Structure 1
Amino acid sequence: MLIPLGMVAVFALGLAGWSAYAGRRAEELVPPEGQFAEVPGARLHYVDLVPEAAKGPPIVMIHGLMGQLRNFSHSLAGRLAEDHRVILVDRPGWGHSAIEGPRPGIAAQAAMIGALIEQLGLEKPLVVGHSMGGAVALALGLDRPELVRGLALIAPLTQVIDTVPKVFAGLTAPAALGPLLAWTVVVPAGLKTGAATAAAVFAPDPVPADFATAGGGALAIRPKAYLAGSFEVRAAPAEMARLVARYGEITLPVAILYGRDDAVLDPEVNGARTAQAISGATLTLIAGGHMLPVTRPAETESWLRGLLSGS
């Protein structure tokens, strides 16, 4: 039996309305908590943690795919902010940051974060990048090395990968279908499968009970997040190929931290291979999965403090 087009349209409008409501609800659960900065192409939401007596260089932290700045503030940033100025930033198009004009890729996002570093007057921060944020950190180090003290990459994307990680396979739909999917089926599907998706990203570590709010996880189930993630997954191979070709240019200190059991990105491909390609780069492996800033904060803090003390 054929379903009348009018009924299809009404159903689609209902899904779009529900998706908009769910997105607003997620933003109520995880509201903006910092400040906003206007940079070319974006309005960036960031949190600036300034201790009474900062003893060392500032730290800028860049989150990964489907994430936002609370991925760092959940467990890690407060430890470092006891004696370092720590800036957490929602990447352009993620969290509560907005974009103006074309959606920015890895290199364009790096330029925007570089502009934020300049605007805040940060003197050569250590740039910490997690997952896709690691790729953005690498682009920043390549294009604006004068702004950066060094790169600390946690479970980073650093190479061209042939297959999108299974947990993110839903982001690979054709670009033309993206808006339709984002405003109809993505949010209901995300609400149904969100717990299983989070478990797959965190594996083998457990997902904290409060990750949806304290870790910002709720913001991943929004049309905005799907569209940003779908764009980045499709754009990443070409952008990563351009970065990989330039690794020989990097003269900044680069350190990579990976969980041995990372189920999202391969530590051998994105860790060992990259450490060999960048002069002086180091690779440290610890127990754990992909979400080390959340699940292994003590070990991650210790690793970062080791880098800071040697800077």
Structure 2
Amino acid sequence: MGKGTRAALAAVGTAMVAGGGLAFYAAAAARRFERMVPRDGDIVEVDGARLHVVERGQGPALLLVHGLGGQLRNFSRLLGPLAERHRVVLVDRPGSGYSTAAGTGQPSLAEQARSLASLIDRMGLDRPVVVGHSLGGALALVLALNHPGSVGGLALLAPFTRPLTDVPSAFALLAVRSPLTRALIAWTAVVPLAQLAPDRTAALVFAPEPVPRDFPVAGGGALGLRPANFQATSADLVGANDAAIDVAGRFGEIDMPVEILFGAGDAILDPAHQGAEAAAAIRGARFETIEGGHMMPYTQPERVAAWIAGAAERCRAGRGADDRAPAQPSPAISPST
């Protein structure tokens, strides 16, 4: 055996040992994250998934759906205020948090919408107002388009509604199309990178507002670093644009009340393009802004909870499609003092 061959084999062996060590480290970190953020609710088996669900309160139903890489604790600060007058259901999307999808691979938004429609039926929710944040807003729109009889209206928070030409810098590591490469990154690079720069991605997502210190635990942020969650998040990101193209082409089919709220300083999704333009394309939709950024459900829970309650009340008022005027962006809400 020549020196070159021995050197190549040594390099491969070193890489395998290093990779195995990183994978072991990632698995140990995942268990630690799960101890930090344990499961909060029940597992409900539905068509295509086993969904982690938290339910609180009584009254008209609200179904809250989190965004890319998130988990139902993203809405933890909204739960108390909303549950005073509503039956509030928080759900981890399939592949996120403690929800798992049936079969192999991450389900498309259309498949996730089917699972949510099944959840609505299984839990006996009476045409709930669906509150979708970020990518959860895109999922709420797919749910309303594909299963209109399951939904009473949409209250969308910084929703992803239209395709993007560039991936936001906060999500650059996720833009991987190869499942093999995605798995390699998930099991070797994600946790070390997060420890080298623990606040970098969160700072981009929360900008211009500061990152709350309790978000990794109280907001469920730590779970997104688990290898399986990272792979699901990457697959969601890659498939999101195709879903947004389909949704944007079907805005005219939406026949229910839709309200959209954006933080004026959102650094992830452009309020004008993703919010105002989408509202203008949906008959009767309302668009509003408040001060703040993309994570306003966590940073401004009282303001956002009040907005959701108002939007839900207007949805329940039974404004039919024929009674809704063409969409016009409404004046921005003045910031709270």
**Alignment TM class, shorter chain as reference:** over 0.9
How is 1:43-192 mapped onto 2 (pairs within 5 angstroms)?
Answer: 43-50=50-57, 54=58, 56-73=59-76, 75-101=77-103, 102-175=105-178, 176-192=180-196
CA–CA separation in structure 2 for the residues paired with 1:174 and 1:237:
13
Deviation sequence 1:52-78 (CA, Å, 0-9, x none): xx3x411000000010000001x1111
Does the aligned pair in 1 maintain the 2:263–2:291 contact within 8 Å?
yes
CA–CA separation in structure 2 for the residues paired with 1:216 and 1:106:
22
1:187 Cα deviation after fit: 1.7
The one of 214, 220, 233 equivalent to 1:216 is 220
1:120 Cα deviation after fit: 0.2
Give unmatched runs, 5+ long, in structure 2: 1-6, 317-337
CA–CA separation in structure 2 for the residues paired with 1:257 and 1:115:
27
The one of 6, 28, 33 equivalent to 2:35 is 28
CA–CA separation in structure 2 for the residues paired with 1:8 and 1:246:
49
1:15 Cα deviation after fit: 0.3
Higher relative contact order (CA 8 A, sep 6+): 1
**Looking at CA atoms only, which structure, 1 or 2, has the larger radius of gyration?**
2
Give unmatched runs, 5+ long, in structure 1: none
CA–CA separation in structure 1 for the residues paired with 2:275 and 2:177:
30
CA RMSD of aligned residues (A): 1.2
Q: TM-score, normalised by structure 1?
A: 0.96
Q: Identity over the aligned pairs, expressed in percent?
A: 48
Does the aligned pair in 2 maintain the 1:93–1:99 contact within 8 Å?
yes
Does the aligned pair in 2 maintain the 1:191–1:221 contact within 8 Å?
no
1:18 aligned partner? 25
Structure 2 SS opposite 1:301: helix
1:224 Cα deviation after fit: 1.3
Deviation sequence 1:165-207 (CA, Å, 0-9, x none): 1100111134131111111112211222231211110011111
1:121 Cα deviation after fit: 0.4
1:198 aligned partner? 202
1:239 Cα deviation after fit: 1.4
Does the aligned pair in 1 maintain the 2:153–2:312 contact within 8 Å?
no
Deviation sequence 1:207-247 (CA, Å, 0-9, x none): 11111101001111111121011111111111111111111
Structure 1 SS opposite 2:199: helix
Does the aligned pair in 1 maintain the 2:176–2:238 contact within 8 Å?
no
CA–CA separation in structure 2 for the residues paired with 1:201 and 1:146:
34
Does the aligned pair in 2 maintain the 1:71–1:294 contact within 8 Å?
yes
CA–CA separation in structure 2 for the residues paired with 1:274 and 1:263:
18
Bigger Cα displacement from structure 2, 77-86 vs 183-192: 183-192
Does residue 247 of structure 2 align to residue 251 of structure 1? no
CA–CA separation in structure 1 for the residues paired with 2:227 and 2:197:
15
Structure 2 SS opposite 1:76: helix
CA–CA separation in structure 1 for the residues paired with 2:94 and 2:264:
30
- The one-letter code matched in structure 2 to 1:21 is A
